Amino acid sequence: MKMILAIMPTGLNEKISKALLDSQYRVTKFASTAGFLAGGTTTLMVVSGANKVEDGLNLIREQIPASEEIDSAHARVTIYVLNVIDFDRV
């Protein structure tokens, strides 16, 4: 099992969340802050089977505007893929 952590400007959150949810991924989102005095970021936590990670990453990447469409300093999404040893829903 893997966890995708995607840290993004809040403006991209809705589009990316919807794409993941429409493709049957479970998504947890929370507000976060990145950089000195920067605000307006959202972190998505997405847990999936190892065989679905690349598809999830592609869904995220497809929702990010091209650099010529938006200021590249604000369009950056940082993505981490982590191994999940244990997962429990109570």
So where are the chain's domains?
A: 2-83
pLDDT of residue 31: 87
Tens of pLDDT, residue by residue over 29-78, are 998 877 666 667 899 999 999 999 999 999 999 998 876 555 555 557 89
Domain spanning 2-83, CATH class: alpha beta
Which pLDDT does position 54 carry in this prediction? Answer: 96
**pLDDT at residue 82 greater than cutoff 80:** yes
pLDDT at 14: 94
Specify the 3-state DSSP secondary structure of 62.
Answer: helix
In degrees rounded to 5, what are phi and psi of residue 44? -105, 135
Please report, as a single letter, which amino acid is at residue 5. Answer: L
Q: Can you point out the beta strands (E) in 1-90?
A: 2-9, 26-32, 41-48, 78-83
Contact 74, 23 (CB under 8 A): no
Q: Tokens for 40?
A: 């307006």
